[in-house]
Structure 1
Amino acid sequence: MERRLAGEDKIENEIEPRKKQEVVSTQKEGEQQPARPCLPARQAVGGPVQEETEGEESLSVEAEIEVKAAEAGEQAEEIQETAEQQGEGRQVKTKEEEPLKENERKEPSGAEEQEVKASQEKVNPVRDNLPLEKRLISNVEKIKPVLKSSVDLSKVRNIGIIAHIDAGKTTLTERILFYTGKSHKIGEVHEGEAVMDWMKQEQERGITITAAATTCNWNDIRINIIDTPGHVDFTAEVERSLRVLDGAVAVFCAVGGVEAQSETVWRQSNKYNVPKITFINKMDRMGADFYRVVKNIEVRLKANVVALEIPIGAEADFRGVIDLMEMKAYIYNDELKKENFSIEDIPADYLETARKWRHVMVEKAAAVDENLMEKYLKDEDSITIDELRGVIRKGTIANKLLPALCGAALKNKGVQSLLDAVNLYLPSPVDLPPVEGTDPKNPQSVIRVTPSFDEPFAALAFKVQTDLHAGKLIYFRVYSGCLEAGSYVLNASKDKKERVGRILQMHANQKENRKAIYAGDIGAAVGLAYTVTGDTLCDPDRPIILESIEFPVPVVSISIKPHNRTEQDKLSNVLIKLSEEDPTFTVKTDEDTKEIILSGMGELHLEIITERIKNEFNVAADVGQPKVSYKETMLEAVTGEYKHVKQTGGRGQYGHVVMEISPLARTQGFIFESKIKGGKIPQNFIPSIEKGVIEAMRRGVYAYCPVVDVKVTLLDGSYHEVDSSDIAFRQAAINCFKETFPKGNPVLLEPYMFVEVMAPEEYVSNIVGNICQRRGQILNIDTKAGEKIISAEAPLSEMFGYSQVFRSLSSGRATFSMEFKRYEQVPSGIAVKVVEEKKKEKESKS
């Protein structure tokens, strides 16, 4: 038997299994309604009976969080069940079922009245012998209309705005909302009034922290937009958004071009094969250069850029663009209205450049389509605009072409043509291949989901948000079928049936109730107690599990200590909500010191979280200094044995294991394999041995840091018919690992960061010298827009507080970004010091 965990971040999650609560089915035999494309409200609920975990150990904070979450889910189910019992046999009017206005009421005609009366008097022996409540349900199902979507799926776009920090994503989104008529006032980021940056921390800092969703219409196309953060600490928001989007607009600064986080979001979008168009923003800034950025994208991102526009002027002289399709100039004015431009002939001094770039556009389009290439070779001028657009659209959807446009969002220039490009070149749900999932009962069986209203319902939950008024909001993308408010769905990832209380259309933090949601759409739901990010929601009769979402491992940790027991209880509840919202935020309790440790993606990430704990949730607590999340691994394979024997007067404890621990390649996580044969250890004890190993790995041995990248093979052992138990074998595995691991030449791993600095040339030598002093390695020094770009790698432990030193070194004239790259072995001399510090810290708190 072999089991593999995807990565080291899974280790902590395996230690304290969620205490599952038994769900008693309220469904009577024979009441199950057949599956419908649009899951009906008030569908019968039922669910599998879950086993409880054994053991009466004291709960750590993370275990307490899990139990409270489960209890909350059970309470939600009880409330729903009670409400249903009280509502049997009578109609319940929801908020969404508003009474008809007087002028909308239609009185039945005489013929209609006679027909209704006749149908009521007609004898139906099968119906009339049914209990009253079943007859009512039958009648409701008979007359209830099936909701149909009026939206043409080919006219839907699900897109994200992605970029490096400060490239102008949110500013661009605010203009999109204005020009599409979604908002009537432009909210400025620098004034803290952006609609999409609705969190208090976002408004105060002028940065996007959480992905925000909205919907607007441009011409006859419905566009669902997710505005994502640009800071690397909030990369999880980008990851989960791209997982459910059909296309993206990649924004680049016309001065900075491709920056560190630009590469990160590009890799994330390629991971999910998301087609993209690019918008080169800030053409009005000093140092702006459209052609240099295009070349920059081609070289660093290996993209096949096809420019659809070229700028007229740059920096303060930027006044418009040349449309290479129509070969017309769009000259923008400063008026804030939908058509703030005039269409003119191309200025004479730009005509030759426009012809050159149009030729390049046609040539690149022809290179990805044989029919167009044939026509291009015969007569380039015979190619029509529709033919060009069609080929570029196909090339974009296939990720063979990257259409490029330009503008200055802050000055309201270029936004309309970008919206046209979204409609013309980015895919609708029907343009993409079917989404693949697996059968929960047979993981090897692949199920393909097509975007159709008539297919069984299937959706992926990609975001959890805590709302002070609505409670827990679950954002989800519908891939097929239809879902009505009030209906039940199967959470196939948890094997739980849940009731969708309300369905919401989100506009940042504003909510609008919907009666139903359909294939190809993005919405939010209230009432899903068990659902978390990455879970699949589907028709209970047609279960499917869609590909989940993987998140990076946290690299920075801090301790937090509530002021008293009351604050401890409040903190536990808050940590439930925050850990559900953010998969890259983890919580654990030090087993020996009982210290609560919060881990995240960086200093800013944890700073935002602790601010929310104190200010948004009003929890009084003290926060420690950030610390590096070190890991342990080993270099040599070793074999060990441990026999756990304990006699207490009654039934004793006996567990005997022999195991081999061997190193794996970096990032391989953890593999457990059992080679037990012949019944030396009963198979029902093997999972407890694995849990014991995982527990020991989580606690750490060498420096009390989590162990990663090892394989544990269970070779031999023995058991006692009376005294052996799960607890005994779990303890035997823990002790065997603790005694054996140190013999395998253990080493310490630390996170390494990629650092990119943009600075005037006079500060380069000081910055390079400082990075080298911090055990950093300079990878490259380049020139961009008259400034030097320094690329380097350095250990995170040496980069704490770097921003203050950095500002001093550059007199505040330089900028830098930093993102996690990988774990590397700590040099032996430094490792010895770290291990000593960890042991002293452990002893002082024990």
Structure 2
Amino acid sequence: MSIQKEIEKRKTFGIISHPDAGKTTLTEKLLLFGGAIQTAGAVKSNKIKKHATSDFMEIEKQRGISVATSVMGFEYMDLNINILDTPGHKDFAEDTYRTLSAVDSVIVVIDVAKGVESQTEKLVQVSRMRNIPIIVFINKLDREGKDPVDLMDEVEEKLGLNVLPLSWPIGMGQRFKGVYNIFEKQLVLFNPHGQQLDEESITVTDPTIENLTEYIGQDAAEELIEELEMVTGIYDPFEKDLYLKGEQCPVFFGSAINNFGVKELLDCFVQIAPNPLARVAEERTVIPSEEQLTGFIFKIHANMDPNHRDRIAFLRICSGKFERNKFYHHVRKNSKIRFSNPTTFMASKKELVEESYPGDIVGLYDSGNFKIGDSLTEGESLQFKGIPRFSPELFRYVINKDPMRFKQLDKGLRELMDEGVAQLFVKIMGSQKIIGTVGALQFDVIKYRLDHEYGANCDYQAVNIHKALWIEVNNKEEFKDFEKRKMKDIAKDKDGNLVYLAETAWSLKMAQDNYPGLVFHESSEF
């Protein structure tokens, strides 16, 4: 089969939301419809030992939140669909931002009661910067929440999206009877238990009071007719081209926990969502149908299976065909590398893959060759854009509580930093280790994973650092003087780059004024 035909069979998208909007639950139900899993996990249930398929790390099961992006694939209507379920918690936004560089469209999940929340705003802003096509799923309609029209206005106002409802709810909470699927012109009746069955979808191409009353009662029928007339009057008709340009945003309503409204979302998604799109590199734009393989690493995960100490680099294929046991060019290292056991994913379950195509996410077993942002090609030197790295905001000294486990702590810190979980700085004077993170919860995750995956017991101690800045030396004499005066505030990152750990904004300003031959960068990529 040609590369173009394989591209047409693929859809790769991310699911984003504020914590607790139901994002992981929606992922589960999409996998159920795709036949990829047989039973849904209960993310927060302590009574049963099932957990959401996409939350496979032990700490995720305990806390009931996602702290790492999960990659899952399934087949639906002869298409290969790749879902990237991202963390919603703001402390793990960096992982989510990087993931958005690897998807072609996104589904945003919003809680009907809470509406648009802060983290949703940030994530949608990143998506809009990249003109990624967006579909909104308003969740938890089986509970009381905001009026649908008010919610649509809120989505438009806070997220800056040009919304268009493609389904509309009939009641809410105790009065919730189902949705009218505007896209397919179908009435879908709500059954609060079990699977959504085909017989609960009734084709009603002409929604009149007479046609609807026998299914939902006269009061609900009258209310629905009135709201549908208003909706079709206010909102523009759906245009696929506008959606693909990121200029129109379809909205669906449902209840993921009850498996309701998910099928309508999925059936529409497979019809309108884009196939793998072109990717911009610093050198040129890469078209998916090109014969030569290109791809980039957007995520690294150590210990996906703690029993085997395996480290996986996640490769997004941008063009060409990836083949097992074929040599490829590692651009940063300028070396040849081949992969004997590349894998595809169903959360933590992995399967060997012989060949993959644009849009696919391939797991590569990695012994430390890759860093986030690395490119893989068939010889061309390419560096893909849009994989951000954040300057840390919080800092802590790492205290080794068991000196006999020094090697385990050192290895664990090195591997977790390679994942992009946080950044490690080692002071030149005294060799003290400092971890820098974007959010406080990352410290808990690092401590937990060091203990459970590496057998290393650590603690933290407060450290007074305003900002970590990478030093570019343009005047060696100035640097010698700077080093002599500021030795206690100079460190190296895990790659050996010099970093200035400025204690205050004032000390940073003084350093910039007094040493014009040094440049202080907020990113290591200068």
Is the shorter-chain TM-score for this pair beyond 0.5, marking a shared fold? yes
- Aligned residues of 2:142 and 2:174 also touching (Cα < 8 A): yes
Report what 2:40 is aligned to. 186
- Aligned residues of 1:393 and 1:424 also touching (Cα < 8 A): no
- Aligned residues of 1:671 and 1:710 also touching (Cα < 8 A): no
Within 5 Å, which residues of 2 pair with 1:446-457?
446-452=283-289, 454-457=290-293
Shift of 1:506: 0.9
Counterparts in 2 of 1:169 and 1:626: CA distance versus 1, 3 Å = farther
Shift of 1:422: 1.3
Shift of 1:687: 12
Report what 1:603 is aligned to. 440
Within 5 Å, which residues of 2 pair with 1:124-163?
152-163=6-17
Structure 1 residue 630 corresponds to structure 2 residue 466: yes
1:216 alignment partner, SS class: strand
- Aligned residues of 2:465 and 2:503 also touching (Cα < 8 A): no
CA distance in 2: counterparts of 1:162 and 1:326, whole angstroms = 25
Report what 1:99 is aligned to. none
Structure 1 residue 171 corresponds to structure 2 residue 29: no
Partner amino acid, structure 2, of 1:299: E
Structure 1 residue 515 corresponds to structure 2 residue 345: no
Structure 1 residue 574 corresponds to structure 2 residue 412: yes
- Aligned residues of 2:17 and 2:109 also touching (Cα < 8 A): yes
Structure 1 stretches lacking a partner, 5+ long? 1-146, 366-387, 439-445, 633-666, 675-684, 715-732, 742-846
CA distance in 2: counterparts of 1:628 and 1:235, whole angstroms = 24
CA distance in 2: counterparts of 1:196 and 1:318, whole angstroms = 29
CA distance in 2: counterparts of 1:155 and 1:206, whole angstroms = 33
Counterparts in 2 of 1:250 and 1:700: CA distance versus 1, 3 Å = closer
- Aligned residues of 2:143 and 2:174 also touching (Cα < 8 A): yes
The CA deviation string for residues 786-839 of structure 1, in whole angstroms up to 9 with x for no partner, is xxxxxxxxxxxxxxxxxxxxxxxxxxxxxxxxxxxxxxxxxxxxxxxxxxxxxx
Report what 2:453 is aligned to. 616
Within 5 Å, which residues of 2 pair with 1:259-338?
259-337=117-195
CA distance in 2: counterparts of 1:176 and 1:524, whole angstroms = 22
2:128 alignment partner, SS class: helix
Structure 1 residue 535 corresponds to structure 2 residue 382: no
Structure that is richer in helix per residue: 1
The CA deviation string for residues 505-535 of structure 1, in whole angstroms up to 9 with x for no partner, is 0111110001122222111111463211111
Of 483, 497, 500, the residue aligned with 2:322 is 483
Partner amino acid, structure 2, of 1:354: L
1:597 alignment partner, SS class: strand
1:573 alignment partner, SS class: helix
Shift of 1:164: 0.4
Report what 1:500 is aligned to. 339
TM-score, length basis structure 2: 0.85
Structure 1 residue 400 corresponds to structure 2 residue 254: no
Partner amino acid, structure 2, of 1:217: E
Counterparts in 2 of 1:628 and 1:692: CA distance versus 1, 3 Å = closer
Shift of 1:610: 0.5
Of 409, 416, 429, the residue aligned with 2:256 is 409
- Aligned residues of 2:140 and 2:255 also touching (Cα < 8 A): yes
Counterparts in 2 of 1:393 and 1:610: CA distance versus 1, 3 Å = same
The CA deviation string for residues 441-500 of structure 1, in whole angstroms up to 9 with x for no partner, is xxxxx3231112x52110010010113326221101111111211222212133233222
Partner amino acid, structure 1, of 2:125: R
The CA deviation string for residues 724-751 of structure 1, in whole angstroms up to 9 with x for no partner, is xxxxxxxxx9xxx9xxx9xxxxxxxxxx
CA distance in 1: counterparts of 2:401 and 2:97, whole angstroms = 36
- Aligned residues of 1:255 and 1:289 also touching (Cα < 8 A): no
Shift of 1:299: 0.9
- Aligned residues of 1:498 and 1:528 also touching (Cα < 8 A): no
The CA deviation string for residues 528-574 of structure 1, in whole angstroms up to 9 with x for no partner, is 6321111111112x332221511222222222222454311111111
1:152 alignment partner, SS class: helix
Partner amino acid, structure 1, of 2:262: V
The CA deviation string for residues 701-757 of structure 1, in whole angstroms up to 9 with x for no partner, is 76699947947544xxxxxxxxxxxxxxxxxx9xxx9xxx9xxxxxxxxxxxxxxxx
Counterparts in 2 of 1:247 and 1:702: CA distance versus 1, 3 Å = closer
2:188 alignment partner, SS class: strand
For the pair shown, the structure with the greater C-alpha radius of gyration is 1
CA distance in 2: counterparts of 1:323 and 1:417, whole angstroms = 7
The CA deviation string for residues 645-686 of structure 1, in whole angstroms up to 9 with x for no partner, is xxxxxxxxxxxxxxxxxxxxxx9x877656xxxxxxxxxx79
Within 5 Å, which residues of 2 pair with 1:525-564?
525-527=364-366, 529-540=368-379, 542-547=380-385, 549-564=387-402
Counterparts in 2 of 1:524 and 1:218: CA distance versus 1, 3 Å = same
Partner amino acid, structure 1, of 2:180: I
Which deviates the most, 219-228 or 702-711? 702-711
Shift of 1:189: 1.2
CA distance in 1: counterparts of 2:180 and 2:462, whole angstroms = 51
Shift of 1:700: 4.9
1:223 alignment partner, SS class: strand
Report what 1:356 is aligned to. 230
Shift of 1:183: 0.6
Shift of 1:334: 3.6
Of 342, 348, 369, the residue aligned with 2:201 is 342
2:450 alignment partner, SS class: helix
Shift of 1:276: 0.6
Structure 2 stretches lacking a partner, 5+ long? 213-220, 491-498, 521-526
CA distance in 1: counterparts of 2:457 and 2:52, whole angstroms = 30
The CA deviation string for residues 36-60 of structure 1, in whole angstroms up to 9 with x for no partner, is xxxxxxxxxxxxxxxxxxxxxxxxx
Partner amino acid, structure 2, of 1:355: E
Partner amino acid, structure 1, of 2:279: V
Shift of 1:615: 2.3
1:512 alignment partner, SS class: strand
1:264 alignment partner, SS class: helix
Shift of 1:688: 8.0
TM-score, length basis structure 1: 0.54
2:447 alignment partner, SS class: helix
Report what 1:813 is aligned to. none
1:153 alignment partner, SS class: helix
The CA deviation string for residues 393-445 of structure 1, in whole angstroms up to 9 with x for no partner, is 1111111101001101111110000101211222111xx4x32324xxxxxxx
- Aligned residues of 2:16 and 2:107 also touching (Cα < 8 A): yes
Shift of 1:618: 1.1
Counterparts in 2 of 1:528 and 1:426: CA distance versus 1, 3 Å = farther
